[in-house]
Structure 1
Amino acid sequence: MRVLPEYSVVDHHDDAPIVLAGGPRRLKGTVRLHNPGEARVVVRDARLCGLPAARTRSAATGDKETDAPSIAPDLAVSIPAILAPGQHSFVPVRASIDPHTPPGSYRASLQVGAHRYPVELHVTEHVQLDVQPAEIVVENQPGKRVTKTAVFTNAGNVPLVIGNLGPIALDDELIVCRTLRGTLRDADETVTLPQQWFNAWLRQGKKHFEEMGLLWVDVEGAPIELASGHSIAVELRVRVPDTLDPRTRYSAVGFLYDESIRFLIAPTGLEKATRRGK
């Protein structure tokens, strides 16, 4: 194990601190190194000290902050460099701190060998909402209202407000096939020109589009404030359009912040047999 010399090899002082900026998990910066000695110096590891600790809250709604240590444990970082005598070098440094550290500027220090150097952390906003399950399955029963439970997690570093999703457009995964079949079924021998075929296609497409309608999704208790680092089980009230074909499978995607909430409207089969067995 190589031992660093007693003299300083980091060219930063109080009036020129090391600056790291970015989201909590992706802080980036550059360290200036200088070897003033007459022997080669190998620098490998350092430690970030005095890092901020994310504040915790007592409930998912963030009503009260609990007592939490203001300083997090030291963090090992890598600044590999081989410095010849008199050499200057700029070495990139990356750090990942508590993901729920609120946006803001913080002071810390970088320890290299026996020396410490000032560090400024500029933590930026990071929005990340995670929703489970990844796909919410709703039975295709036209006109029915159902309640589904989903777990919302605020994995970012700022509070989020969960509101209603409202109307969501539906997609029929076989709409192209259905439109083509409908066009061929309704067209007769008088339809000969390309424009006539195109108009027939548009009529069928509009018909299926109007049948799909909109999936309505409301959040029970909305708006809900979700503090950073917390999860909450949310009741989703879903209304299936009464114009849907119960034999067809539909999909929909609702958007909240950076998350896509997927819905699958799945047929359950017909209640009565379509053909009597022998």
Structure 2
Amino acid sequence: MSNLSSNEKSLIFRGPPGRLLLHSSLPSVYGIDFKPDKKLSSVIGNTKSVFKFRSDNSGELKKLKVRLSPNIEPGLYHALLETQEGPITVDIDVEPRKRLTMSPVQMSLNGSPGDKVKIYVLFSNKGNVPLSIIKSDSIGIYDDDGIETAFASTYRMESKDLAEIFSNFSEKLRDGHGGLLKLRVLEGSGELKPGACRSVLIEVQLPSKLKPGHSYHGVWSLNSSEYAVTVTANK
């Protein structure tokens, strides 16, 4: 973090839109008015919701806070703080931020082994850079009881051979793997702009190795976000 001398009179905020941190010292000034430049004015609207400050009883500046719209474009923005001791330059360096949300927050699937299941999911881009909804993907899933079953099977063994015990435990853990869910986006793939949302139709092929009556779980990683996936295999 850089130090601000009394002659520099400048402030630097850096970070994603909702977490802009002050990267220079806070000056001691009295009376304050925030004036964004033309570029910043065109994207923030009401300045009172963007720039907040707190003063003590004497009017001396104690705290500054900058909060911009989560989908503001990354880049360098500028403003001036008009004070009784002269103008202070404010540089606001907005960094890229990826944030994709999904509704429902968990993808819950039901079907028989090998079935194709269709589900609608609402994707929302709450970051400040375009994101891509890919056309296909795959997700590994695991039996909810897989680990417990592996331990129980190992505890029941009468063998004292460590290699045999470890081999049995490893084999039972592998048995818990439910295979790969194969996802195909039927409607709604492509670029999703910041602030936009889109309903996406997804076809999911369930693995043929699922055990009827068992439940499985997995995680879908997409655009730096992760979504829980559950699968219940019909009896």
Give the TM interval when normalised to the shorter protein: 0.7 to 0.9
Equivalent residue for 1:24? 17
Secondary structure of the corresponding residue to residue 194 of structure 2: coil
Equivalent residue for 1:147? 118
Secondary structure of the corresponding residue to residue 32 of structure 1: coil
TM-score by length of 1: 0.69
Q: Answer yes or no: is the 8 Å Cα contact 2:43–2:72 preserved in 1.
A: no
Identity among equivalent pairs (%): 21
Alignment-mate amino acid for residue 158 of structure 1: V
1:27: Cα distance to partner?
2.1
Q: Answer yes or no: is the 8 Å Cα contact 1:170–1:214 preserved in 2.
A: yes
Q: Which moved more, 1:110-119 or 1:140-149?
A: 110-119
Equivalent residue for 2:53? 78
TM-score by length of 2: 0.80
Secondary structure of the corresponding residue to residue 197 of structure 1: helix
Equivalent residue for 2:217? 251
- The alpha-carbon distance between structure 1 residues 52 and 97, as it changes in their structure 2 partners (threshold 3 A), is farther
Give the Cα separation in 2 of the matches to 1:232 and 1:171: 29
1:169: Cα distance to partner?
1.2
Q: Which moved more, 1:122-131 or 1:225-234?
A: 122-131
Q: Answer yes or no: is the 8 Å Cα contact 1:159–1:227 preserved in 2.
A: yes
Structure 1 regions of 5+ residues with no counterpart?
1-10, 35-42, 55-67, 271-278
Q: Which moved more, 1:100-109 or 1:173-182?
A: 173-182
Larger radius of gyration: 1
Query: Whose strand proportion is higher, 1 or 2?
Result: 2
1:218: Cα distance to partner?
2.4
Give the Cα separation in 2 of the matches to 1:114 and 1:103: 31
1:112: Cα distance to partner?
4.0
- The alpha-carbon distance between structure 1 residues 267 and 142, as it changes in their structure 2 partners (threshold 3 A), is closer
- The alpha-carbon distance between structure 1 residues 206 and 124, as it changes in their structure 2 partners (threshold 3 A), is closer
Cα RMSD of the aligned pairs, angstroms, is: 3.3
Structure 2 regions of 5+ residues with no counterpart?
none
- The alpha-carbon distance between structure 1 residues 174 and 105, as it changes in their structure 2 partners (threshold 3 A), is same
Q: Which moved more, 1:168-177 or 1:226-235?
A: 168-177
